[in-house]
């Protein structure tokens, strides 16, 4: 590698990236040191040349003045659902309902209807005259149903999103579609036996005292409650099944536009365990390493330990996020996973005041939609269950929607404050919500981190892609993102470059 002068006070950056084993032009790799910043003083000046225009230069114009990705990218967003069926760890048939968000051509977006997200239980008959079917839908801010995928430029990398235990793909829908607007295909399966719909089926069956509704996998209820080890093992199999599916999938609306040679995984809570197990493997659980995954991004963590040697062997780039106010998995718990890793391409970000479920970008919209139906219909039993679970979760440390939802979520388009007061005793006002970090801000931060991280980690060669990566430096994050409480980057090698002094690489 040729020597390139760099200074901590004035980075001359053409490419800032991780050590991925590729041939990159590196200008100041923070020079191979560990950076840990909690308090930042002083200014940071960037002097970067404009990247050369690539084949998709006209498709990637969305840069802020300082080179950070916009909240929403230059592409329209399409959404569709597919079903993938594979074999579970016990040899059982394992069907997966999969949400897919993808970059859409502007003409396709114009012609397609706006997506309205709904549960697979939507409209399923319950007990006529006593309990009405679930009918709420969640309107999408960005996605259009079945829109044509954008056929211009390079193929799009694949990101697989693994949701938390007892939640579902829709909890993160708004973040996923915003990431897709930057040129990624994002696929998220409802993890069978560990999803919110499984919990709702078990709830209604227990309520009526019979097996009124069947499980998605056609096995006998209860549908949820799968043991954590078995759950993670099956979830990793789900991830592999999705990679298989997209490798073989050439049907509409995707054609051959998905680049399965570039695969990342995003996981929240138990989804974090899923992502980590996929790249670390687990001899104790019988989980092999999924070698087709190139990078992972995680949010909070779940409750499972991995063998130190297996964690230390992980080499893929990793971005880990933790919530400073997460009582379910406090920062030291998440940090312990980070410290077990020896990957020299990793970033740890703590989000100020974020709780465990603050990462759920569509939870507030779910509360509003379900609450509006329940307010008008006392027989809407599954909407009632949904709202109560969000306001008063069975695991108290998950946090309530009162903690991370803005005032607007309680009054628009339906004023559900009377229902909220009945359930919680809280009179919602503009001054008392949210109690902690607004989920919209956590989503915005997650989108920009994800785009920057995967753009670098998957070696995406967009017209401005290489400029995104400056956002990943702790110094930049701490100076420009007030809701980043702390950030730490570990880069390649052992040589150090003392802060404030010149260095060569």
Report the distance separating Cα 474 and Cα 488, nearest Å: 6
162 or 31, which is more confident: 162
Q: Of all residues in the chain, what percent carry a pLDDT higher than 70?
A: 81
Bridge-partner residues for 321, per DSSP? 299, 349
Answer yes or no: is pLDDT of 198 > 50: yes
pLDDT class of 490 with cuts at 50, 70, 90:
confident
Sign, CA torsion 339/340/346/351: negative
All structural domains of the chain = 5-51+464-504 (no CATH), 76-359 (3.40.50.1820), 364-424 (no CATH)
Report the distance separating Cα 490 and Cα 410, nearest Å: 41
Report the distance separating Cα 45 and Cα 265, nearest Å: 33
Nearest to 159 by CA among 449, 486, 487: 449
The C-alpha R_g of the chain, in whole angstroms, comes to 23
21 or 399, which is more confident: 399
Residue 27's pLDDT is what?
Answer: 27
Report the distance separating Cα 333 and Cα 350, nearest Å: 12
Are 102 and 149 spatial neighbours (Cβ–Cβ below 8 Å)?
yes
443 or 456, which is more confident: 443
Bridge-partner residues for 195, per DSSP? 167
Token readout for 341 is 């890793």
For the stretch 452-470, pLDDT in tens is: 999 889 875 443 433 346 7
Residue 469's pLDDT is what?
Answer: 63
Are 439 and 457 spatial neighbours (Cβ–Cβ below 8 Å)?
no
H-run or E-run covering 455:
helix 439-457
Residue in this structure with the two tokens 């051509």, named with its chain if needed:
105
For the stretch 312-349, pLDDT in tens is: 999 999 999 999 999 999 999 999 999 999 888 899 99
Residue 67's pLDDT is what?
Answer: 57
Pairing of strands 10-12, 318-323: unpaired
Question: Across all residues in the chain, what is the average pLDDT?
Answer: 84
Token readout for 394 is 């069975």
Report the distance separating Cα 208 and Cα 226, nearest Å: 22
Residue 459's pLDDT is what?
Answer: 72
Residue 380's pLDDT is what?
Answer: 99
Token readout for 242 is 């999705």
Give me the half-sphere count of Cα atoms (radius 13 Å) on the Cβ side of residue 371. 27
Answer yes or no: is pLDDT of 29 > 70: no
Token readout for 449 is 């981190």
Residue 34's pLDDT is what?
Answer: 30
Q: Where are the beta strands (DSSP E) in 69-184?
A: 76-87, 93-104, 114-117, 138-145, 156-162
Sign, CA torsion 313/314/315/319: negative
When pLDDT is averaged across residues 394-422 and rounded to a whole number, the result is: 96
Nearest to 14 by CA among 329, 449, 464, 367: 464
Report the distance separating Cα 359 and Cα 323, nearest Å: 9
Crossing angle, helix 228-248 and helix 270-280, to 10 degrees? 70
Identify the three-state secondary structure at position 418.
Answer: helix
Are 439 and 363 spatial neighbours (Cβ–Cβ below 8 Å)?
yes
């Amino acid at each position: 590698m040729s020597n390139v002068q760099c200074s901590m006070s004035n980075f001359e950056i053409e490419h800032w990236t991780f050590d991925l084993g590729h041939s990159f032009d590196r200008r100041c790799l923070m020079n191979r040191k560990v950076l840990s910043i909690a308090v930042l003083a002083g200014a940071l000046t960037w002097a970067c040349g404009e990247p050369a225009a690539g084949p998709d230069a006209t498709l990637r114009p969305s840069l802020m003045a300082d080179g950070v990705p916009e909240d929403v990218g230059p592409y329209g967003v399409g959404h569709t659902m597919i079903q993938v069926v594979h074999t579970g760890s016990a040899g059982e048939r394992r069907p997966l309902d999969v949400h897919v968000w993808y970059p859409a051509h502007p003409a396709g977006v114009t012609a397609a209807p706006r997506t309205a997200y709904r549960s697979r239980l939507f409209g399923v008959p319950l007990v006529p005259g006593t309990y009405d079917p679930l009918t709420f839908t969640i309107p999408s801010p960005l996605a259009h149903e079945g829109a044509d995928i954008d056929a211009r430029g390079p193929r799009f990398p694949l990101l697989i999103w693994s949701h938390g235990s007892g939640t579902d793909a829709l909890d993160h829908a708004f973040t996923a579609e915003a990431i897709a607007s930057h040129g990624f295909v994002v696929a998220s399966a409802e993890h069978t036996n560990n999803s919110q719909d499984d919990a709702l089926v078990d709830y209604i069956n227990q309520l009526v005292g019979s097996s009124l509704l069947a499980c998605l996998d056609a096995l006998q209820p209860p549908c949820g409650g799968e043991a954590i080890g078995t759950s993670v093992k099956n979830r990793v199999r789900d991830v592999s099944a999705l990679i298989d599916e997209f490798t073989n999938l050439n049907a509409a609306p995707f054609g051959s536009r998905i680049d399965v040679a570039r695969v990342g995984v995003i996981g929240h809570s138990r989804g974090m365990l899923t992502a980590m197990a996929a790249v670390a493997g687990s001899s104790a659980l019988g989980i092999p390493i999924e070698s087709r995954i190139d990078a992972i991004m995680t949010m909070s963590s779940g409750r499972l330990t991995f063998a130190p040697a297996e964690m230390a062997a992980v080499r893929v780039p990793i971005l880990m996020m933790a919530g400073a106010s997460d009582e379910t998995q406090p920062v030291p718990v998440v940090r312990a996973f980070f410290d077990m890793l020896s990957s020299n391409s990793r970033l740890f970000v703590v989000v100020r005041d974020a709780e465990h479920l603050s990462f759920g970008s569509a939870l507030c919209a779910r509360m509003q939609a379900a609450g509006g139906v329940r307010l008008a219909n006392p027989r809407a039993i599954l909407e009632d269950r949904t709202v109560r679970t969000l306001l008063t979760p069975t695991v108290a440390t998950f946090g309530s929607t009162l903690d991370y939802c803005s005032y607007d979520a309680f009054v628009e388009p339906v004023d559900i404050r009377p229902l909220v007061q009945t359930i919680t005793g809280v009179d919602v006002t503009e001054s008392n919500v949210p109690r902690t970090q607004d989920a919209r801000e956590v989503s915005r931060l997650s989108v920009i981190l994800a785009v920057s991280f995967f753009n670098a980690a998957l070696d995406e060669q967009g017209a401005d892609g290489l400029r995104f990566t400056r956002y990943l430096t702790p110094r930049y994050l701490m100076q420009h993102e007030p809701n980043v409480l702390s950030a730490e980057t570990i880069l390649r090698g052992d040589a150090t470059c003392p802060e404030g002094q010149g260095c060569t690489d």
